[in-house]
Amino acid sequence: MEDRRRCKPPLYKDKITEVRSYSENRPLGHNRPFYKGLLVEKDKDKGQESLKNKGGRGIKSNPHQYQCPWVLLLSKHKEMDTWEIRTLVVEHSCLPLRSIYSCTSAFISKKIVDQIAENPNIPVKAVQEQVQRELQLRVSRMKAYRAKAKAKEQVHGDYISQYSRLRDYVHELKSRNPGTTVKIEVKEADPVEVTRRFKRIYVCLGALKRGFKAIGRDLLGLDGAFMKGPFPGQILSAVGIDPNNGIYPVCYAIVEAETLDSWTWFLECLGEDLDLAVNSNFTFVSDRQKGLLPAMAKVFPSAEHRFCLRHIHENFKLTFRGQLYKDILWKLATSTTDVKFKNRMNELKDLNPDAHQWLSNIPAQHWSRSHFTGRALSDVLLNNMCEVFNGKISEGRDKPIISALEFIREYLMRRIVTVLKHIERSEGILTPNISKLFEQIKMDAGNYLVSWNGGDEYQVSSQHDQVVVNLSEKWCACRRWEITGIPCRHAVAAIWDKTDHSEDVSELLSWVNPIYTIKRWKEVYSHRVKPINGPANWEKIEMPTTLTPPTHHTQVGRPKKARKRSAGEMENGTGRMSKKNMTITCSKCGNKGHNQRTCKGQGGASQGQPQAKQRKVGVKSHGGAAAGDANIGQSSQATGAASSQAGSQGAKQKLPKQNTCSNCGGKGHNKKTCKVHV
């Protein structure tokens, strides 16, 4: 069998008589610079010689028309390890090749490595077009993809090799950022072994730790996000709320999975950094992740644990769909008093006892403001702070471990600078977002009437509302002031009334909790994350063991990088709601569980369901044909009887299709079998 690899023609040694070099037959040359000389083949039968380009495609009848004078000859210097050009003829007489073997993905990756470092998300199509434009070569899409992957590997480092330098990175990070806490945990191994398999890492930058303590708000959101590289895991994060009601990340960790063990370890590390005792009355917000609830009960049993309302609604609407149930759920969650909460729960019970029972199974202190304490100084119902943080670091979740950790640190460092610029442009006493919120509260306060009892209490009423306000205790019966630390509209109306009575009242903004002031905002972001040196300048840490990547079993199929959407989210921008878990009704037979297209003639509707629509049968009559009229009548009666029987008894089998005769118009036969003579 002939050897056709690389499209080279077979070479028969018994036919080759000599090999002429370019120096002997220079004008001949040939069009491939990496093949030298010509093969002179002699046909034994005909006794003729024929020239053949070595590496060409078959024997040419007229080889001179395929010969190109271009030639490049190199030789290695005898005394030095260098190469020099001995012969170079730049003239061409052949068509340029658009595809050569030497243009490999490794060669292209060296050309685009600087561009990948500046823009790692450059499309593969752009790389392909750039190479074709600059080198004038044809490059396949897969070769461009491999070149981009190799260039990214050069920029970010290898996924496996970065684990061996993880301890060097930790030393550099801690030396450049004082007060930073980094903990690495490895899997148990034989003490004799020189390698340790990586398990998880926890990072809490010293600047973020000090900044969070300066906020004075005991509230943190907890969440996890998937890693997307060849060693999948989870990024756990704890995110707080700053004085401007923006996010303030505190710490993060890369763990093997969201389990009871990993969440317990993360919460214990968090408690040590923030000085939280076991009986601490801290407030956490979460999505009820797997393993988090028992870990929270174990590490912080006295903490207030709020559940994200959006995730509660995602589970709630699987059984109770519709905008009505959603509105009721939000009214229950935003109720600030126990009386309003109970009244609305009773309304839900009257509407649907099953929905009432479903919500009653979740304790109200986890999801309703009516049962929140005022320790956190926040009325948040959603875990949006963690969702925002996960969205910001999504591009770093598919990088190697050190590159992923650096992506997060660099984002946090840049974010502090961005907020400081925003602080410089802000004016007034309160932060911008709180100022807008308080302005709306003052507008609403103008609609209330106030009655003073001569002491510290005021009766504030409107057409639909009436509450008691105690200014000395900074308390209102609606509990909004207690929950958020911002005077509600009732309190603002009472403060204005106190001013009208010539009472000694300080400035209105002074009644707002100090955590919302620009002064506190500046103090929080005065703690900056410091930059670090590159890997070439890291100090080598001498350790008896070396870290290796975690074990991972590669799943079948292409790795998924996109977030899994919930059942109620709209996909592909169609704007259509999902019909999952909905029971459809057939418009043909009236039964449940299928539509008209998949209907198999199940018969009439079941009890309590609408009757199926009866098909009208049109009968065409012809005069002067007594026999034909009789047959038509019998056919119509038979059809009506069959339809009546199917409608009353709910036959399971589909009725056979009734043919219509084109001769007499009757049913049940065709023109061929018609017995009527028209």
State percent of the chain over pLDDT 70.
Answer: 77
Q: Say what angle helices 260-274 and 206-215 make with each other, to 10 degrees.
A: 70
310 has pLDDT over 80: yes
SS3 193: coil
Q: Record the tokens describing residue 310, joined without a space.
A: 């959006």
Task: For residue 61, give Cα distances in angstroms to 21, 40, 54, 126.
Answer: 21, 13, 15, 43
- The predicted pLDDT at position 588 comes to 82
Q: What is the CA angle 189-193-198, rounded to 5?
A: 50
Q: Could you give the CA distance from residue 398 to residue 563 in angstroms, rounded to a whole number?
A: 13
Q: Record the tokens describing residue 368, joined without a space.
A: 């309703």
User: Looking at residues 141-146, what average pLDDT do you find?
Assistant: 92
Q: Record the tokens describing residue 242, joined without a space.
A: 């700053």
Q: Could you give the CA distance from residue 663 to residue 678 in angstroms, rounded to a whole number?
A: 7
- The predicted pLDDT at position 135 comes to 84
DSSP state of 145: H
Q: Could you give the CA distance from residue 625 to residue 676 in angstroms, rounded to a whole number?
A: 7
Amino acid 114 reads D
Q: What is the CA angle 639-645-651, rounded to 5?
A: 110
No. of helices (H) and no. of strands (E), the chain? 19, 17
DSSP state of 446: T
566 has pLDDT over 80: no
Q: Are 164 and 546 in contact (CB under 8 A)?
A: yes
- The predicted pLDDT at position 483 comes to 95
Within 10 A of 97 (CB to CB), how many other CB atoms are there? Answer: 13
Task: For residue 37, give Cα distances in angstroms to 49, 326, 384, 606.
Answer: 16, 82, 72, 90
Q: Could you give the CA distance from residue 327 to residue 334 in angstroms, rounded to a whole number?
A: 11
Q: What is the CA angle 268-269-270, rounded to 5?
A: 90
54 has pLDDT over 80: no
Lowest-confidence region among 87-96, 136-145, 390-399: 87-96
Q: Record the tokens describing residue 646, joined without a space.
A: 């199917």
Q: Could you give the CA distance from residue 430 to residue 436 in angstroms, rounded to a whole number?
A: 9
Query: How big is the chain by its Cα radius of gyration, in Å?
Result: 40
pLDDT tens for each residue of 273-288: 999 999 988 999 999 8
DSSP letter string, 251-301? EEEEESSS-HHHHHHHHHHHHHHHT--TT---EEEE---TTHHHHHHHH-T
Q: Between these two residues, 159 and 675, which has the higher pLDDT value?
A: 159
pLDDT tens for each residue of 90-105: 887 777 777 788 889 9
Amino acid 151 reads A
Q: Are 235 and 300 in contact (CB under 8 A)?
A: no
Amino acid 320 reads F
Task: For residue 9, give Cα distances in angstroms to 5, 54, 57, 123, 249.
Answer: 9, 9, 6, 38, 66
- The predicted pLDDT at position 15 comes to 39
Q: Could you give the CA distance from residue 99 to residue 384 in angstroms, rounded to a whole number?
A: 52
pLDDT tens for each residue of 237-248: 999 999 999 999
- The predicted pLDDT at position 561 comes to 63
55 has pLDDT over 80: no
For 419, phi then psi, to 5°, come to: -70, -35
pLDDT tens for each residue of 173-213: 999 999 999 999 999 888 888 899 999 999 999 999 999 99
Q: Are 482 and 476 in contact (CB under 8 A)?
A: yes
675 has pLDDT over 80: no
User: Looking at residues 575-601, what average pLDDT do you find?
Assistant: 76
User: Looking at residues 345-352, what average pLDDT do you find?
Assistant: 95
- The predicted pLDDT at position 131 comes to 87
Q: Record the tokens describing residue 436, joined without a space.
A: 């807008």
* Secondary structure element (H or E) that encloses residue 307, with its range: strand 304-307
669 has pLDDT over 50: yes
What does the H/E/C string look like for 100-157? CCCCCHHHHHHHHHHHHHHCCCCCHHHHHHHHHHHHCCCCCHHHHHHHHHHHHHHHHC
Q: Which residues touch 668 (CB under 8 Å, ≥6 apart)?
A: 635, 638, 639, 658, 659
Strand ranges inside 453-496, DSSP E: 457-461, 466-470, 475-476
468-474, Cβ contacts within 8 angstroms, sequence gap of 24 or more: 469/493, 469/494, 471/495, 471/498, 474/511
User: Looking at residues 141-157, what average pLDDT do you find?
Assistant: 87
Within 10 A of 586 (CB to CB), how many other CB atoms are there? Answer: 20
Residue of 108, 149, 100 whose CA lies nearest to 128: 108
pLDDT tens for each residue of 597-638: 888 876 544 444 444 444 443 434 344 433 344 343 443 344
**Sole residue written with tokens 């009960």:** 297
Q: Pairing mode, if any, of strands 219-226 and 83-89?
A: unpaired
Point out which residues pair with 18 in neighbouring strands.
Answer: 40
289 has pLDDT over 90: no
Q: Could you give the CA distance from residue 324 to residue 394 in angstroms, rounded to a whole number?
A: 35
Lowest-confidence region among 25-34, 301-310, 664-673: 25-34
- The predicted pLDDT at position 585 comes to 85
Q: Could you give the CA distance from residue 253 to residue 183 in angstroms, rounded to a whole number?
A: 9
580 has pLDDT over 80: no
Q: Could you give the CA distance from residue 668 to residue 674 in angstroms, rounded to a whole number?
A: 10
Residue of 113, 107, 105, 112 whose CA lies nearest to 147: 105
SS3 7: helix
Please give the order of strands across the beta sheet that includes 49-53: 16-20, 38-42, 49-53
DSSP state of 660: B
Point out which residues pair with 195 in neighbouring strands.
Answer: 546
User: Looking at residues 299-305, what average pLDDT do you find?
Assistant: 94
In terms of residues, how long is the chain? 678
Q: Between these two residues, 445 and 94, which has the higher pLDDT value?
A: 445
Q: What is the CA angle 442-447-450, rounded to 5?
A: 95
Q: Say what angle helices 323-334 and 353-360 make with each other, to 10 degrees.
A: 40
Lowest-confidence region among 43-52, 65-74, 122-131, 218-227: 43-52
DSSP state of 509: G
Q: Could you give the CA distance from residue 350 to residue 367 in angstroms, rounded to a whole number?
A: 21
